[in-house]
Copies of this chain bind each other. A is one copy, B any other.
Amino acid sequence: MVEKRIPLAVSQAVQHIMNYASEGPEEYVSLESAYTRFLAQDIAADQDVPPFNRSPYDGFAIRAMDSQSASAEQAVRFKVVGTIGAGFVFEERVQAFEAVRIMTGAPIPLGCDAVVMLELTMNEEVDGQAFMSIKRPYTTGTNISYQGEDVKKGDILIEKGQSINPGIVALLATFGYAEVPVFRKPIVGIIATGSELLEPNEALVPGKIRNSNAYMTMAQIERAGATVKYFGKFSDDLAVCIDVVKEALSEVDLLITTGGVSVGDFDHLPAIYAALEAEVLFNKVAMRPGSVTTVAALNGQLLFGLSGNPSACYVGFELFVKPIIRRILGSAKPHLRKEKALLGEDFTKANPFTRFVRATIHFANGQLIATPSGFNKSSAVSSLATADAFIVLPGGSRGYEKEMLVDVLLLDDLQGSEWPWDNITKYSKL
């Protein structure tokens, strides 16, 4: 009577899904709106930075050789033959014992090879002619920012798939990207299921709870870098549900449903997948929470059936949906970033399944420490508010003690991992 489901190891489940992953199309956005988008092309330097030798300070440009006899006792005096502001070019070649007043960022005049900072000069005017004196010698190159010292023309500066941060914006501006090639944000649809669900603006009534999964998942979709399309809640009528899914699939890149994937009589998703002739890639994963996570494919498009339990839904999204989104956005490391951390407290109850424990991380002298963030049932919602990592505890017969080194997967991260699973799953009993 009850459908028998074969649990898949997490790594295998992820691998099944990643077979459907590919880079999405690109689009151009203005530089002002490029922050947090994902670069769709490698950015190479089409010029040196700086583009010319320039002065890093306000001062005087001189020929260093003219300063060689200067000393505290015997200053050397230069005739000031001009002033050069940033953005302008001094047209003549500077001659012996001549100096040019130069502003920060201005090009070094022809003939000059050193800059004396303004505060180290003495200045006077004789018959309307300005003179500048210095009391120490300078070597060639003093206070000169050389062409190309920061970036050389042709250097690959940033590889595609990177999330654009403020520093990358600065580089894009420097290289003239008024319009920036980025990956188009995939559109991820959400449909909630469950007769018990009220919307947040509805008053509680006995037996019902408010729909937290859909809104939580919307935020996870945005954090992953995609755009949300919310289709509301399923009808109780199966035929209507099938139509809603069909329609939704035509409007989104990926479709998520929350709830309805268990083996209960009121869980419609298996029937919907069957009616659509979608191929169910898996419907049980050897993990806690989220074991009922189901993924189906239809004409190359993925349908994610996440659990109706908040923690299970949250974990399912991060493990299975996020890497697809990050691949569409060009990332070569689309999975959650895996690091090592010390376990912040005992977690002694053994469990045959790999567990993803919602955890809060902090540092002690630079050492990452991960502590379970509270109530850890699959139905928990409170522990998600302070979770910034999952502690991965391989299934087995033993518990885990405080200060053991464990694997953690970081949630607020833009770097990711190429494939975090092998080392984790080899401990699994499955």
Contact = CB atoms under 8 A, between A and B. Distances in A.
Nearest to A122: B1
Contact of A200 (B86, B173, B215): B173
Contacts of A386: 167
Given A35-B218, A381-B170, A86 B266 contact: yes
A107 B170 contact: no
Given A31-B200, A51-B204, A216-B173, A375 B150 contact: yes
A194 interface: yes
A88 interface: yes
A326 to B, nearest CB: 16
A123 interface: yes
A167 B215 contact: no
A377 B145 contact: yes
Interface in A180-200: 194-197, 199-200
Contact of A379 (B150, B158, B172, B378): B150
Stoichiometry (number of copies)? 2
Contacts of A34: 219
A222 B31 CA distance: 13
Contacts of A165: 219, 223, 385, 388, 412
A23 interface: no
Contacts of A164: 219
Interface stretch (A92-100, A238-246, A335-343): A335-343
Instruction: Describe A's contact surface by its main secondary structure.
Output: loop
Contacts of A118: 2, 263-264
Interface stretch (A248-256, A346-354, A364-372): A364-372
B200 A172 contact: yes
B150 A56 contact: no
A32 interface: yes
Interface in A149-168: 149-151, 157-158, 164-168
25 contacts: A31-B200, A32-B228, A34-B219, A35-B218, A49-B382, A58-B263, A83-B265, A86-B196, A103-B264, A118-B264, A145-B377, A151-B381, A165-B385, A166-B217, A166-B314, A167-B358, A167-B383, A167-B385, A171-B212, A171-B381, A173-B212, A173-B214, A173-B216, A178-B199, A365-B405
Across the A-B interface, give the 5 residue pairs with the lowest CB-CB distance, nearest first.
A167-B384, A87-B196, A87-B195, A178-B201, A166-B219
